[in-house]
Amino acid sequence: MSYLIALIPALGWGFMPLITGKIGGSAVNQMFGIGAGATIIGLIAFVIGHPAVSTTAFWFSVVCGALWTIGQIGQFISFKRIGVSKTTPISTVLQLVGNSIIGAIIFGEWRGAKALTIGFVALAVVVVGALLTSVTEGTSSKKVTTGDFLFLLCTTIGYWIYSAFPKIPVVADQSALGIFLPEMLGILLGSVIYTVASGNISAFKQREQYLNILGGLSWGIAALAYIFAGKALGITTAFVFSQMNVIIATIGGVFILHEQKTSREMSFTILGIVLIVIGSIAMTFA
């Protein structure tokens, strides 16, 4: 059952960029939609479960949720710059590498020489896969530049904090439902801060600001499942399963959002996805 729960984030996080991509709007509209939709899921979970949470864990969860917005803002901006089908694989690899290292070094989830060898070889396979998905021919309108990569790398720090969140001592002994709502409130808070700080208060009058809540509902369901999976399987295994969203988002970016790829680029993309999936699965044996 734990492994089935671990697959829910792959679906929810895979469909989210496709939903927000079809709805459209700015990165501000999309970020607020995620925060609001996720908070709705958090409120529903809280009302149904009536969980208890300590004051310290509550506010720590709010801060972690707010920091997560850094990673998601980076993704939404990158979706606009280079497209969903290129952003998702690169972001996935950056998250896999960072979170696997965090899990192995800080939480000791890779024990012994054999586990470390399997883990790092698998990571190398995943990195090669990401490089293949970013192959661009001269006729392509959206190339992945060094600046695009560095921007994603810097903003991914927010994702690393979020993914390690279920195992951090402050919340490790808390109810998964108890820490979920404050974390979603933190995401909503972060999205509002981003809206105001970027000078886009007028976005609250835009239709897309609220339609993108649909994407937030998809993301919120995935996030709730991830917390349970992280506690049951460990952050490395749970995260690896969740990142199967790369298949849905990348292929969906081409066929649903109609992002242009030449036949050669598509061949490299498919091969890259296969390597990412193989490497990700291999990590579960570390």
pLDDT tens, residue order, the chain (286 aa): 788 888 899 999 999 999 999 999 999 999 999 999 999 999 999 999 889 899 999 999 999 899 889 999 999 999 999 889 889 888 888 887 887 788 777 777 778 888 889 888 988 898 898 888 888 776 555 678 889 999 999 999 888 887 777 677 788 788 878 889 999 999 999 999 999 999 999 999 999 999 999 999 999 999 889 878 877 887 667 877 887 888 899 899 989 998 888 888 899 999 999 998 898 888 778 7
CB 179 within 8 A of CB 65: no
How many angstroms separate the CA atoms of 254 and 8, rounded? 22
Instruction: For residue 107, give every residue at least 6 positions away whose Cβ sits within 8 Å of its Cβ, in sequence order, or none.
Output: 164, 167, 234, 235
pLDDT at res. 208: 96
Predicted TM-score (pTM) of this structure: 0.84
Token output for 12: 């929810």
Lookup result for tokens 């309108």: 141
Cα gap 145→197, rounded to integer Å: 27
CA-wise closest residue to 243 among 124, 24, 95: 95
The answer to whether 280 touches 240, Cβ cutoff 8 Å, is yes
- Provide the token pair at 105: 């070094």
pLDDT at 139 (0 to 100):
57
Q: Which pLDDT score, from 0 to 100, does residue 41 have?
A: 96
- Check residue 168 and report its DSSP letter: S
d(CA 225, CA 206): 31
Q: Are the CB atoms for 129 and 275 separated by under 8 Å?
A: yes
Residue 205 CA to chain centroid, in angstroms?
27
> To which H or E segment does residue 119 belong?
helix 112-133
The distance of Cα 215 from the centroid of its chain, to the nearest Å, equals: 13
C-alpha torsion 250→253→258→264, nearest 10:
-20
pLDDT at position 202: 95
Please tell me the distance from the alpha carbon of residue 106 to that of residue 109, in angstroms, as a whole number. 8
